């Protein structure tokens, strides 16, 4: 004898009750939901919330600060941005705020904490971008954040990053075969590494002696550079000695004027044209550029050549990993949003 399906009947009855309450009768459950929505709306109006994420409000002040920091990092203020563009930036900043809040909420729900040593290294690395402690504090003051708040925010950023990495890392592994396949598919018309066709351009290694003509009499500079050239030709002094004694390029004078290897596009056009006209071992005549006078000696030359796979293998792997990580993070955030209750209040954006 079959048992009566009480569980199925109860589930059906409960489902029928919910449908009737929510859709047709306006019962206590629907009234409770409507009251909750009304109270949230009233609180949003009173406190100028821009969103509520799983019952956690995000305020217009938080959005203002996020936009300020976004623009400040780019050397701008809201006064520099057209109103229509500023509205787009505010919407994008809000989406980032929502994503950060979701990640933090779920990381906290997992009781996840990044190791303290990792946080210390991240904070130290971030702060090292400033030359002095005074510059760091000045930047923090401009963003209205104390040292304690700065460290806490950096700790949250690193913790969120590590929480995300743990969840996306299995999906971002790149195989050797995928790296090779990408190389073969892209090397003929490459548009990713600023090396068209994956070709290493012609390079020379050269050294120079430089005399600036900025705020200096040009005739005096020309007379001096030609005398230095004469000393080199007649072997009265070595290139290294004259570069260290007279060159006004502080980056190279202590190493005998050595510019190391460079391609044409790495130097000003007027300098590159003269330098690349010389052969290895050739000392050029003094010439003038927009910056001043130069004596150049070419030491060696490398012709244009195809880039070998081994030279860019690691770069391609990082590119594929970064792209796959971004895609995986996007999918994860979409899942978090679908599983969450996010309510926006556009009137306060």
**Cα–chain-centroid distance for residue 108?**
26
Helix (H) or strand (E) holding 344: strand 342-344
Q: Is residue 290 within 8 Å of residue 306, measured between CB atoms? A: no
CA-to-CA separations, 81 to 77, 92, 93, 279, 347, in angstroms, rounded: 7, 14, 15, 51, 20
Backbone angles phi, psi at 62, to 5 degrees: -65, -40
Using CB atoms within 10 A of its CB, is residue 211 exposed (0-12), middle (13-18) or buried (19+)? buried
- Tens of pLDDT along the chain (349 residues)? 556 565 665 666 566 655 555 555 655 545 555 555 667 788 888 888 999 999 899 999 999 988 988 888 788 888 888 888 999 999 999 999 999 999 989 988 888 888 999 999 999 998 888 878 888 888 788 777 888 888 988 898 899 888 988 888 777 888 999 999 998 888 765 444 445 558 888 999 999 999 998 877 778 889 999 999 999 999 999 999 999 999 999 999 999 999 999 999 999 999 999 999 999 999 999 999 989 999 999 999 999 988 889 988 999 999 998 888 888 888 889 999 999 999 998 887 7
Backbone angles phi, psi at 258, to 5 degrees: -65, 120
Q: What is the pTM of this model?
A: 0.57
């Amino acid at each position: 004898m079959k048992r009566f399906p009480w569980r199925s009947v109860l589930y059906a009855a409960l489902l029928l009750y919910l449908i009737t309450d929510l859709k047709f009768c306006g019962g206590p459950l629907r009234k409770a939901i409507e009251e909750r929505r009304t109270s949230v709306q009233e609180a949003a109006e009173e406190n100028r919330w821009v969103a509520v994420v799983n019952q956690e409000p995000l305020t217009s002040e938080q959005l203002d600060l996020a936009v300020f920091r976004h623009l400040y990092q780019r050397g701008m203020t809201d006064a520099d941005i057209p109103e229509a563009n500023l509205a787009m930036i505010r919407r994008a900043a809000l989406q980032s705020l929502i994503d950060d809040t979701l990640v933090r909420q779920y990381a906290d729900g997992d009781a996840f904490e990044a190791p303290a040593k990792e946080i210390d290294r991240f904070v130290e690395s971030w702060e090292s971008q400033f030359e002095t402690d005074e510059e760091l504090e000045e930047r923090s003051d401009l963003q209205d954040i104390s040292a304690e708040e700065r460290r806490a925010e950096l700790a949250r950023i690193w913790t969120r990053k590590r929480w995300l990495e743990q969840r996306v890392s299995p999906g971002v592994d790149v195989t050797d075969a995928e790296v090779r396949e990408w190389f073969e598919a892209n090397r003929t018309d490459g548009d990713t590494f600023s090396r068209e066709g994956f070709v290493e351009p012609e390079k020379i290694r050269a050294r120079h002696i430089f005399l600036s003509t900025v705020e200096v009499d040009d005739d005096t500079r020309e007379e001096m550079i030609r005398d230095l050239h004469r000393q080199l030709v007649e072997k009265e002094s070595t290139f290294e000695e004259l570069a260290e004694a007279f060159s006004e390029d502080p980056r190279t004078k202590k190493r005998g004027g050595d510019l190391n290897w460079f391609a044409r596009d790495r130097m000003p056009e007027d300098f590159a044209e003269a330098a690349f006209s010389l052969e290895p071992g050739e000392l050029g005549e003094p010439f003038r550029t927009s910056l001043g006078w130069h004596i150049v000696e070419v030491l060696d030359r490398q012709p244009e050549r195809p880039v070998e796979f081994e030279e860019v293998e690691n770069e391609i792997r990082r590119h594929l990993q970064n792209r796959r990580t971004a895609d995986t993070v996007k999918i994860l955030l979409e899942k978090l949003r679908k599983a969450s209750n996010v309510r926006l209040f556009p009137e306060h954006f």
